[in-house]
């Protein structure tokens, strides 16, 4: 669990999770939304994939990411609500 929460401790990764909680996105759209390079986004997404926080699908040359499942979204929403109280 510590390793999993360690992956979530990075601000950029949390911003990616926030964007992906709304909809599936490609790397280029995520990079534009965060104002960082596609390479930087891909690096962060790799860590999230390895922790099973996100998953992807390929469509031609593009790769689209989304949250792995409803558990990740529930965890994200619970923490967000807790912090806003």
The ranges assigned to domains in the chain are 2-84
Tokens 């990616």 sit on residue: 16
**For the residues 43-50, what does the mean pLDDT come to?**
96
How many residues are recorded in the chain?
85
% of the chain exceeding 70 in pLDDT: 100
- Number of helices (H), then strands (E), belonging to the chain: the values are 5, 3
* pTM, 2 dp: 0.89
**Any idea which fold 2-84 has?**
Arc Repressor Mutant, subunit A (1.10.10)
Judged against a pLDDT cut of 90, whether residue 76 lies above it is answered with no
Name the pLDDT band for 37 (thresholds 50, 70, 90).
Answer: very high
Q: Are the beta carbons of 13 and 67 closer than 8 angstroms?
A: no
DSSP-derived 3-state class of residue 85: coil
């Amino acid at each position: 669990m510590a390793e999993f929460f360690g992956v979530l401790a990075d601000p950029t990764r949390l911003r990616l999770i926030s964007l992906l909680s709304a909809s599936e996105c490609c790397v280029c759209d995520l990079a534009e939304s965060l104002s960082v390079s596609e390479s930087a986004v891909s690096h962060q997404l790799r860590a999230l994939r390895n922790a099973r926080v996100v998953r992807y699908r390929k469509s031609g040359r593009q790769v689209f990411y989304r949250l792995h499942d409803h558990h990740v979204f529930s965890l994200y929403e619970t923490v967000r609500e807790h912090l806003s109280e």
